[in-house]
Amino acid sequence: MPDSTPSRILDELAAILGPRGLLTEPADIAPHLSDWRALYRGAAFAVARPASTEEVAAVVRLCAAAGVPITPQGGNTSMVGGATPDESGRHLVLSLARVNRIRALDPLDMTMTAEAGVVLKAAQDAAAEAGCLFPLSLGAEGSATIGGVLSTNAGGNTTVRYGNARELMLGLEAVLPDGSIWNGLRRLRKDNTGYALRHLLVGAEGTLGIVTAAVLRLFPRARDTALAFCAVADEDAALALFRRFRDRDESAVRAFEYMSGTGVDFCTSHIEGVTLPLEARADHYVLVDLASPRPDAQLREMAESVLFEAMQAEEVTDAAIAANEAQAQKIWRIREEHPEAQKREGASVKNDVSVPVSKVPEMIRRCSAALRELIPGSRPVPFGHIGDGNIHMNLEQPEGMDPAAFLARSHDIMDCVNAVVRDLGGSFSAEHGIGRLKTDMMEDWRGGAELAAMRAIKAALDPQGLMNPGKVLP
């Protein structure tokens, strides 16, 4: 933006948005300039906080006319710097936080129409109050917003049963790069009327337009649950156990999580209140979370039966089934505290990768061996969603090593993991997206016909390149 522009556009923005809708003081803007992981610190001449779809559209039209780049922002919990402006100071940050009404909830249709700024936890709560379930569940659910989880196609723990954010969305409303409002809030399971714009916007990270509202799918709430924490013989046994549960009743497997002995050790050492629910330590663990709307599903009995078979087959060496909800929550904490426990243990590098489900054991083994060879003494901490092939193949620094020296090897570590993942037909970004962190990998992984098509679509819908520039496409 030319130096002369800011004051004029600020006046116009103020006229549209009013005093609550525009932040221009450095102290007010600052929280919007850094990403959650503190990988980037950008700049912006203002933060727009529109309160309605119409205001979002007015802001986008103004920016389109003035050639001002826009960085859309939801809960600002991106793991890849997806909601952080660049350092130029030319960007306007457009926060959706005030576009946050739940417009409708229909327990007969099993749909909820929620605006982009609705926090994921608030959407879950609204569904629960109506006796329904909105199943998307992830660590940042207390801050992440509906617009953000759709724009990044968030995954989380329940993908194995309910799919990613994409599969939970029936319709969208969005402001397109020219400032037009597209109302695609259709509450339909079947609607074959042209190109699937809604699926193009989901996962586009705000680079093709700004999601302002969505029709979300709801499900019947669980009336029977069972939760087991198991020590398993090795990575193959973890996968074999998943297969046993899936083949018995795939619709009952709400989550199926793998954890390494190392990661669980970190949790029990560093996190108060986290204890191992088994008698002896193991090198590999699995958390099995079962749920059904049938009160008579007898999931505890099913879990016991499957675990008995798996013990006979020497896949499972020990297991505990939660006796009540409090115990279940305590077991879930072992899994949820992995990021915090890793942080307390020292520096670590995250790798959010996926492979075909059948390849997970090989991926964990090969990555762990390669990482130990790359940095002797380093400690692989693989954990995550084995049921959908998405493992967080994280690496903890060697004990006593200088954290900065370890983090200086971040790119070597990511390259090391990605080489194995690629060989196994996997992806370098499973659920976190591309953002700013991984744009430089797009050419290598998605180059050729695929990236050319993406670029053609971007140029067609956002010819000025003003929507979240610097993200997704290199």
Site for a copy of itself in 347-376 (CB under 8 A): 354-358
Asked if 238 interacts with a copy of itself (CB under 8 A), we say: no
Asked if 457 interacts with a copy of itself (CB under 8 A), we say: yes
* CA-wise closest residue to 233 among 333, 386, 361, 353: 361
Asked if 193 interacts with a copy of itself (CB under 8 A), we say: yes
Asked if 426 interacts with a copy of itself (CB under 8 A), we say: yes
CA separation for the pair 153, 168 (Å, rounded) = 10
Judged by CB, which is closer to a copy of itself: 142, or 425? 425
Task: Give the per-residue contact string, 142-161, with a copy of itself (x = CB under 8 A; - = no).
Answer: ----------xx-x---xx-
> At closest approach, how far in Å is the CB of 59 from a copy of itself?
16
> At closest approach, how far in Å is the CB of 131 from a copy of itself?
9
Site for a copy of itself in 433-452 (CB under 8 A): 433-434, 438, 442, 445-446, 448-452
**Stretch binding a copy of itself (CB under 8 A), from 22-30, 39-47, 321-329, 384-392:** 384-392
CA separation for the pair 33, 42 (Å, rounded) = 5
3-class SS of residue 148? helix
Site for a copy of itself in 87-126 (CB under 8 A): 106, 108-111
Judged by CB, which is closer to a copy of itself: 73, or 429? 429
Do residues 335 and 383 touch, judged by C-beta distance below 8 A? yes
- Phi, psi for residue 284 in degrees, rounded to 5: -145, 135
CA separation for the pair 73, 467 (Å, rounded) = 12
Site for a copy of itself in 199-218 (CB under 8 A): 199-200, 202-204, 208
Asked if 67 interacts with a copy of itself (CB under 8 A), we say: no
* CA-wise closest residue to 289 among 162, 164, 391, 426: 162
Residue appearing with tokens 């205001």: 55
* CA-wise closest residue to 429 among 369, 363, 350, 370: 350
Asked if 195 interacts with a copy of itself (CB under 8 A), we say: yes
CA separation for the pair 10, 59 (Å, rounded) = 11
3-class SS of residue 284? strand
> At closest approach, how far in Å is the CB of 119 from a copy of itself?
21
Judged by CB, which is closer to a copy of itself: 30, or 456? 456
Judged by CB, which is closer to a copy of itself: 49, or 359? 359
CA separation for the pair 105, 134 (Å, rounded) = 11
Judged by CB, which is closer to a copy of itself: 47, or 165? 165
Asked if 220 interacts with a copy of itself (CB under 8 A), we say: yes
**Stretch binding a copy of itself (CB under 8 A), from 12-20, 47-55, 192-200, 323-331:** 192-200
Judged by CB, which is closer to a copy of itself: 282, or 442? 442
Among 125, 251, 283, 407, binds a copy of itself (CB under 8 A): 251
CA separation for the pair 354, 384 (Å, rounded) = 10
E-strand ranges in 245-345 read 253-260, 284-292, 316-321
Among 3, 25, 129, 247, binds a copy of itself (CB under 8 A): 247
Asked if 191 interacts with a copy of itself (CB under 8 A), we say: yes
**What separation in angstroms does the CA of 66 have from each of 69, 176, 337, 383, 466?**
9, 16, 46, 47, 10
Six token digits for residue 407: 């983090």
> At closest approach, how far in Å is the CB of 68 from a copy of itself?
21
Asked if 431 interacts with a copy of itself (CB under 8 A), we say: yes
Judged by CB, which is closer to a copy of itself: 101, or 246? 246
Beta-sheet pairing, 70-73 with 92-95: parallel
Do residues 254 and 292 touch, judged by C-beta distance below 8 A? no
Q: For residue 25, with 0-12 CB atoms within 10 Å meaning exposed, 13-18 middle and 19 or more buried, which class applies? A: exposed
3-class SS of residue 229? strand
What is the number of H-type helices and E-type strands within the chain?
17, 19
Site for a copy of itself in 387-416 (CB under 8 A): 388-390
Task: Give the per-residue contact string, 299-318, with a copy of itself (x = CB under 8 A; - = no).
Answer: ---x----------------
